[in-house]
Amino acid sequence: MLFSEVYSAYFNAVAAVITEALTGNLAIKDLGRIINDKAFSESMLTIPPALIGGEWLVMDKSLQTPIKRKPQMPLTILQKRWLKTLTQDPRLALFGVDLSELEGLEPLFKPEDFVFFDRYADGDPYTDTAYIGHFRAVLTALNEKRRIQIAYRNRYNRLINGIYVPYRLEYSSKDDKFRLETAGGKHAAYINLQRITSCEVLEAYAESDLLPPKRRESVVTFLLTDERNALNRVMLHFSDCRKETIRLEGNRYQVRLWFEAQDETEILIRVIFFGPMLKVIAPDDFITKVKNRLAMQRAIMDQAEED
């Protein structure tokens, strides 16, 4: 909202039209092309009449503009303060973004203004020098399409060393961790960046080596009661998953959700988050895991009350 309301699609569309008009080569067909590209399809009903009809006083019927310089859209102080807020996120430093021009500005929000109640507390060490180096090496390998040699410790603390074709870098907001997905294997191989002990960017790989990894999918089916806008919230919350939704009677829906098998714990937590508005009906092992996790949480709460 801070950005789109100040410089919305209409501002960008009109700025592009004026820029083209300054060259002296603007035609009606160019006007339509620019508006379709920069704004919305229905914008053709409002922007051209306002421009050509003289309502906005930036263009006449001959498509000439009295403006002498190319339009510029500098950021407002409010927008800069929002960007300054982002610079306080330690994850931003991983990408080497230069925001030195924001020095001296007061951030719009501070880190202590945010409380995360659905995130693990053992996230990646974003300020660790070694971690930053490993992250940037992985990012370089991805951007430059090069192989990467990585030594890391698996979940059993066993040291693994191999050469990989990087496919995708993923971030889990629940775990607050990054992981690298590699290509070329029989199944998708994931490496948590926090577990990397050393890595080195190697030579470029051939396009034929970048084979999308095969993923092992699981599916969970649950009944959804659309109370307190639950349907929209569930669709948004699981926007990263493939879904099949069937409307039943009244405000009830049946939803099938596909996810990667190794992400089951995260999906389990996300399902429980909706409480009584979601009821898992399949598969049986997922139902059992929901019950066990709820029982564990209840035991923790009971223990806390006793203490």
C-alpha–C-alpha distance, residues 239 and 182, integer Å: 23
Q: Is the pTM of this model over 0.75?
A: no
- Residue pair 177/192 in contact (Cβ under 8 Å)? The answer is yes
Tens of pLDDT, residue by residue, the chain (307 residues): 566 666 677 888 899 999 999 998 888 888 889 988 888 777 888 888 999 888 888 898 888 999 999 988 888 888 899 889 988 999 998 998 888 889 889 999 998 998 887 777 889 999 999 999 999 999 999 999 999 999 999 888 999 999 999 999 999 887 899 999 998 655 558 899 999 999 999 999 988 878 777 778 899 999 999 998 999 999 988 988 899 999 999 999 999 999 988 789 889 988 998 999 999 999 999 999 999 999 998 888 888 777 7
What residues are paired with 223 via a beta bridge?
Answer: 254, 279
The SS3 of residue 213 is: coil
DSSP string computed for the chain: -TTTTTS-HHHHHHHHHHHHHHTT---HHHHHHHHHHHS-GGGGGTHHHHHHTTSSSS--TTS--S--S----PPPHHHHHHHHHHHTSGGGGGGT---GGGTTPPPSS-GGG---SSS-S----TT-HHHHHHHHHHHHHHHHTEEEEEEEE-TT--EEEEEEEEEEEEEETTTTEEEEEEESSSS-EEEEGGGEEEEEEEEE--GGG-PPPPP-EEEEEEEEE--TTHHHHHHHHTTTSEEEEEE-STTEEEEEEEEEGGGHHHHHHHHHTTGGGEEEEE-HHHHHHHHHHHHHHHHHHHHHHH-
- How many residues are present in the chain? 307
